[in-house]
A and B are shown apart, each in its own frame.
Chain A
Amino acid sequence: MRKRWLFTFIGLLFLALYTMSSNTHLMMDLLEKRSKVSSAFGADRSRYGDLYYMCFLPQYKSSNRLLENIKPDSVFDKKREINLYAICNSYLLSFIQTPKVFAGVKKYWQERALNPQSPVLDTTQKNILLLQVTERSVMMFLYADRIIKNFKPHAPQGPSDTLKYINKYEIPPFPLKEQIFSPRLNEALEFNLFDYRFITPVKELKATINHKFFGRISPGVVISPDNKYLFLSSTVKKSAISSSFYPLSDAQINKLIASFNKLYTHYKEVVGFDEVYLSIIPNPVTIVAPEMDTYNNLLPRIQQNPDLKVPTIDVYEKFKQARQPIYQYADTHWNNRGLNLWLEEVNKKLINN
């Protein structure tokens, strides 16, 4: 009888673990909470950079990820009267915490391009739309119609219906099939069973053996020639469309230009934004180690294209000339220096607008 109770307990415990791990919303909350725990039971997932987390090479473990505070000089003496909307990715979502970093911006709204959103657009105010994308995901903008379908600003329904700043990414409910057979289950179980700080040294040991002995690292990551940086392998491998070295044809570039122009026309002339800007953030490998292969010149080919109607916020040259690191060593994102450089360029445009 006692054995039966023991088996019941074990069975239900693992059933609970399985069910909990299948719930993506719950897992995201748990991830956020456990990432903040600094004891041995905390999670190292976002502590030392997403690329470190992919490969666990101890030499890339650095907690000093963000170098300075964001204080762009240009923002302080400007009257705040702009509503800024950003269709963006984690380069902004994870780093911009306040509209105050933008010159002249009163209200700021940000969201991912393909999430269905319908913010308020009061055309009596000055509204600017910023299309921010990283070089590796620029191809996403080929689907202009999907973006137009998802991002549909609406006129205010009453005096209290004003633009609200969105800070947290709300995940829509998953279909039933995904709730029962979660495609993220193995990742979630790995997090619940093995993502504890006291296990990290074992993961680092495995990574070191694989690297030193077999010359292998996680397939998702590539080491820079000077061994300082980790790059996302899909930005380096020539066969990947997100790579800086993927041979892009002129026809593909022209399609992109047409798609950007379509978005520009739609949001400026149909929806009623006062201005629309495009900003493409270079892949770290494009700036740090372009010599790894032949750069496809995606950024110059888009930004200097005479057919492009959208005004761009060009940071490519500025990043290339930067003397200090602007990207994190073991993360796909920029550091605050990179963000500041970008903000300076954005603010120049906003001030001149």
Chain B
Amino acid sequence: MLFNSLQFFVFFICITALYFALKHRYRWILLLAASCYFYMAFIPVYILILAMLIVVDYVAGLLIENAREKRRKWIFITSIVVNIAMLAIFKYFMFFNSNLTAFLHIFGQHNPIPLIKFILPLGLSFHTFQAMSYLIEVYRGDQKAERHFGIYSLYVMFYPQLVAGPIERPQNLLPQFKQEHHFDAGNLKSGLLQMAVGLFKKVVIADRLAIAVDYGFGDYTNQSGLSLTIAALLYSFQIYCDFSGYSDIAIGAARCMGFKLMTNFNTPYLARSVSEYWRRWHISLSTWFKDYVYIPLGGSRVTIPRFYLNLMIVFLLSGLWHGASWTFVVWGGLNGIIVIIEHSLGKLKHKMRLPQVHSRVKEILSITIAFLLVSLVRVFFRAPEIGQAGEILKRIFTMSFNDVINLSLNSNELYFSLFLIVVLVLFETRWPKITEMKTTKLGYYLLMAGILFSCYLFGVFNYRQFIYFQF
């Protein structure tokens, strides 16, 4: 069920209203049933995979809590392996197998493992990571194992964040299912507003930019360098509006029922370095890797080479988390290299005791450079093959300003898209956060009506799936 569909609109109103109509002790049943239906609306049978994961992790959580040292460790490792095995089978099997075939082919050998194609269950990486977060926290003793099977299932399956996050932590989400939420008009208003803003980002900005981006990347051999540069820059805004729009709808939908999900984005394109960008983009995933991979590896409190190795491991894993393809690995690796270079330069500057200059111009320049770097590296994220990404980058770096722009948008639509991007940037920087705005009742209704009417009038309604659903 897509957030940008009428099906979700009706489903959401129905479930939210029934949630407040029911007594607290029955609400988890409603939410769990709704979440199952929500998930099954994509491919029903895949709920079995999710159910298996839930059972395994629920039992593992209880066993870990009650077991002693060595046994405890083994149960924890086994349960983590089961979770990773699920990802490995459904997401990475094809990738590893095809690479094995290619590798064996070099030595004239035949790969005996048959090539089996699995359809990736929707949001598998998201809910597996959320489930693993629970196991790790229970193992560390920072979270009590959940005894209520229904509540635990809901922790993994809560429909607003089931397929594309935010990847929640048990300490934040589990207690909220037990806490009775009374109807709060303030929560409802701010939740609905955040959902409307998310919908605007998705249907008005992301899906319109997608027309140009798809055209540019799809027909890259016939595109000029300038066209591809614009397509790459537009893609940055498309993916931001697509994913942050999704997160806004998820967070807003949960908020209407009184749940507070974690923030996933913090104006990432205003970051002054790529390192800072990664602290502002997909925060729930970045902090997951930080808490469960980077810090256990030693973080920055190790020798410099080990620190850089830790960074590279995290970025390569992050790349692989996004997709089973070398393009994602390269994308993660390049981001890691840039972050390491930034760190080295910062250290060098510190050693040389260069004066710290704070100026508006420097800030804008830093923001621009970080944005350009992120956008260029993201070509690997968007292109289906490394060779294709390389060709696109080659054309970008040899572009001429005399190049013809041909991105299937007429000049009006291109200017309108740029206008939308300016509105987005201004909106997220100059103005106070819209969800925190204090408005009169009339002002609120006018604002909502304006956003929704703009969504209808300027939205592209092709029921296009959210980009992050594929992960």
Contact = CB atoms under 8 A, between A and B. Distances in A.
18 contacts: A3-B20, A7-B17, A7-B18, A7-B20, A8-B17, A8-B18, A11-B15, A14-B17, A18-B14, A177-B44, A181-B44, A206-B457, A209-B457, A213-B416, A214-B409, A214-B410, A215-B410, A215-B413
A189 B7 CA distance: 7
Contacts of A12: 18
A4 B412 contact: no
B41 interface: yes
A202 B456 contact: yes
Contacts of B20: 3-4, 7
Contacts of B413: 213-216
Contact of B10 (A177, A189, A206, A215): A189
Main secondary structure of the interface of A (DSSP, over half): helix
Interface string B398-419: 0000000000011011001000
A4 B6 CA distance: 25
Contacts of B6: 185-186, 189-190, 193
Interface string B219-258: 0000000000000000000000000000000000000000
B14 A14 contact: yes
A27 to B, nearest CB: 14
Given A186-B6, A214-B413, A14 B13 contact: yes
A205 B13 CA distance: 28
Interface in B434-463: 456-458, 462-463
B447 to A, nearest CB: 19
B21 A11 contact: yes
A128 B463 CA distance: 45
Contacts of B409: 214
Interface in A270-303: none
Contacts of A219: 462
B95 interface: no
Contacts of A21: 10
Given A3-B20, A7-B17, 7 more contacts: A7-B183, A10-B17, A11-B13, A14-B14, A18-B10, A18-B14, A193-B6
B183 A185 contact: no
Interface in A1-24: 3-5, 7-8, 10-12, 14-15, 17-18, 21
A206 B204 CA distance: 13
A209 B413 CA distance: 11
Interface in B12-27: 13-15, 17-21
A146 B41 CA distance: 30
B18 A186 contact: no
A15 B14 contact: yes
Which 7 A-B pairs rank lowest in CB-CB distance, beginning with the nearest? Answer: A11-B18, A11-B17, A14-B14, A7-B21, A10-B17, A8-B21, A189-B6
A242 B40 CA distance: 33
Interface string A205-248: 11001000111100100000000000000000000000000000
Interface residues of A, number: 29
A297 B14 CA distance: 53
Interface in A316-345: none
Contacts of B412: 213-215
A4 B458 CA distance: 37
A10 B13 contact: yes
B397 to A, nearest CB: 31
B149 interface: no
A7 B20 CA distance: 6
Contact of B41 (A10, A181, A205, A213): A181
Contacts of B11: 18
Contact of A186 (B5, B19, B21, B456): B5
Nearest to A205: B457
Contacts of B40: 181
A74 to B, nearest CB: 48
A39 to B, nearest CB: 23
Contacts of B21: 4-5, 7-8, 11
A14 B6 CA distance: 12
Contact of B14 (A11, A186, A202): A11
Nearest to B211: A216
A189 B13 CA distance: 14
B7 A186 contact: yes
A294 to B, nearest CB: 21
A8 B14 CA distance: 9
Contacts of B456: 202, 206
A185 B2 CA distance: 12
A270 to B, nearest CB: 41
Nearest to B182: A3
A5 B20 CA distance: 10
Given A214-B412, A214-B416, A15 B18 contact: yes
A209 B7 CA distance: 26
A214 B183 CA distance: 43
A177 B43 CA distance: 10
Nearest to A188: B6
B183 A3 contact: yes
A37 B13 CA distance: 29
Nearest to A203: B456
Nearest to B45: A177
A12 B458 CA distance: 32
A219 B213 CA distance: 17
Contacts of B13: 10-11, 14
A316 B186 CA distance: 66
B7 A185 contact: yes
B29 to A, nearest CB: 14
Contacts of A186: 5-7, 463
Contacts of B457: 205-206, 209
Nearest to A22: B7
A17 B12 CA distance: 13
B363 to A, nearest CB: 35
A193 B462 CA distance: 18
Nearest to B414: A214
Nearest to B410: A215
